Structure formats: structure tokens, C-alpha cells
Amino acid sequence: MIEVATTERPGRVRIGISGWRYASWRGDFYPPGLPHKRELEYVGERMSTLELNGSFYSLQRPASYLRWRGSVPADFVFAVKGSRYVTHMLRMKNVDAALANFFASGVLALGDQLGPILWQLPERQHFEPRSLEAFLSGLPRTTGEALHRARRHDARIGDRAWLEVENDRPIRYGFEPRSVTFENDDLLSMLREYDTALVVSDAAGRWPAFGAATASFVYVRLHGAEELYASGYTDEQLNDWASRIAGWRDGTSVVDGTPRDVYVYFDNDARGHAPHDAVALAQRVGDSRASRGRN
């Protein structure tokens, strides 16, 4: 029998970025002449986490997940964006085959470095309580359950499926809706029932920011306070976020007073602000890897 491993201690803060392959970062965040193949390694030396976003657009391959895992320290954690085929095309309905393919594509090859899985919805998607509850209740809650689901993959995966787990450990999920129809107490109750984090989203007012802690951890996405995907964060804004994060981490800003792990990802990448803002915020909250700073 595989033993179910516990997650890291409550109150751990990880600050990172969403993606890392951006041409404008070369010669800025990345030193001039750094080979492209070493960019993730460079991130891993300065941050403790990263949000993989290629998995949102298409099914990746096990070899890719293994290569990414091998590029960073053993205590580095990857959040993984769930497939847009599930959220944007199927609208979270009749997703059994799609979920099987997603988990068989190599996600489980990340092993203990698999962090939360993010489900991001399109703005046009309205709150439909019945279909959302069916989706949440059907998600595998451990890597062992995900392996069982992955074994039911279809021909899209073929013979390149990854069907192994190192140990059976919990899987965390973040949920980022973008319609005001989700500003609903029924949503909060549902997410709390399934220990799913309602993403705190800073998106220049484009989408609801939310902010309620609905899970045993908190998931934050910082898309830009003034200009979506483009504006950087001021010292004052970073200090404000550091204060909020400390409250979640220490259990002082939530009703039940429970310390929570906090994952924060900067997505204001268009003008290269994301990695610099991530390092600056991480230094403020004691995310030790980023506190090494830039070389």
C-alpha cells in the first residue's frame, strides 16, 4: 500500500512567476548571454515556485515535466494550469476523458514538486452551481487517485502516458473565475467544502478580485494593479501585499485563525516587471530563495 504523504508545514509562503520564456526578459532579468535552456535554472536559483502555463494551451509531454523538474532545486514547487480544453471548451462538463488525458500527460512526473493545479475560467463563464459542484466533486484529491484517472486516458495520449507516482499525496486546486456572477456566498461554501482556493486576483479591475480564504491554502495571481499584464508594482503596493500575505500565513486575517500556505504568482510579464516584482515581494515575506537577490 502506498502511504499518503503530508503536505509541507502550514504557513509556508512561496512567491514566483507565471511562465519564464519571455524574450524581453533576456538581457534584463536574465543576464546577457544566458542560454535559453538555462533560464528555468536561473529562476530556480532565485525563486521557490513557478506557475507552468503551457499546460493550459496544450497537453505537454512527460519528458518536458521531467526536464523542468531537473532544472530546479528539489524543494522548488510547480503550480500547473489546468487545460483550457476542460474549462473553456467543455465548460467543466463531461470532462472524464479530458481529465484523464491531462493527468496522463506528465503532470504526475513532477512528484513531490507538484504544487496546486489552477483552473482558470473565461469571463463569459457564469456561475452554474450544479455543474461546478459536479466538476469539483469529480477531481482526484490525491496523486494516487489522479493515477487511477490517468490510466483511463484515450488515444490522444497514446503510448506516451506517464503512469507512475512516487508516493500518494494530496493535490491542491485553485479556482479563478472571471465573471461577477461568481460573487456568491454559495460559491464560497462550495469551495470550502472541497478545500479549493478561490484565487485572489489583482487584474487592474478587469475581473473580480475576490479575497475570501476558502481552503487550507491561499492562491494569489498578480496580473498588474493599473494596467493588465503590463504595469509593475510600487514599493507601497508590494508592502500592502506583504502585509496581506503575512495575515494569511499567520492566521490573523481569516475567520478561523488558521495559518495557511500562500502561493503568489506575478503575471505582469508584458514589460518584464514580473520577475523583479516577485523577487522584491519574496524578500519582504521571507521566501528565502528569492532573498538571495539578483547576481
Domain coordinates in residue numbering, the chain: 13-292
**pLDDT at residue 53, rounded to an integer:** 95
Handedness of CA 148, 152, 157, 160 (dihedral sign): positive
Among 96, 48, 63, 59, smallest CA distance to 81 is for 59
pLDDT tens per residue across span 199-228:
999 999 999 999 999 999 999 999 999 999
What's the CA dihedral at 54, 170, 162, 18 to 10 degrees?
10
Give the whole-number percent of the chain exceeding pLDDT 90: 89
Residues 6+ apart with CB under 8 A from 289: 45, 46, 47, 48, 73, 76, 282
**Smallest Cα–Cα separation from 110: which of 165, 191, 173, 181?**
165
The whole-model pTM stands at: 0.93
Tell me the average pLDDT across 174-194: 97
Of 46, 48, 45, 43, nearest to 19 (Cα)? Answer: 43
pLDDT score, position 283: 95
Closest by Cα among 99, 108, 172 to 134: 99
Specify the pLDDT at position 10: 65
Long-range contacts of 68-73 (CB under 8 A, 24+ apart): 68/40, 68/110, 69/109, 69/110, 69/111, 69/113, 71/38, 71/40, 71/41, 71/44, 72/40, 72/41, 72/43, 72/44, 72/113, 73/44, 73/45, 73/289
CB within 8 Å of 232: residues ≥ 6 apart: 224, 268, 271, 273, 276, 277
Overall CATH class of domain 13-292: alpha beta
Q: Please give the Cα distance from 17 to 269 (Å, whole number).
A: 9
Say whether pLDDT at 2 is over 50. no
Q: How far, in Å, CA of 260 to CA of 254, rounded?
A: 10
Instruction: Give the confidence band of 11 by pLDDT, cuts at 50, 70, 90.
Output: confident
Report whether pLDDT(147) > 90: yes
Question: How far are the Cα atoms of 142, 219, 258, 276 from residue 55, in angstroms, in the given order?
Answer: 19, 18, 32, 24
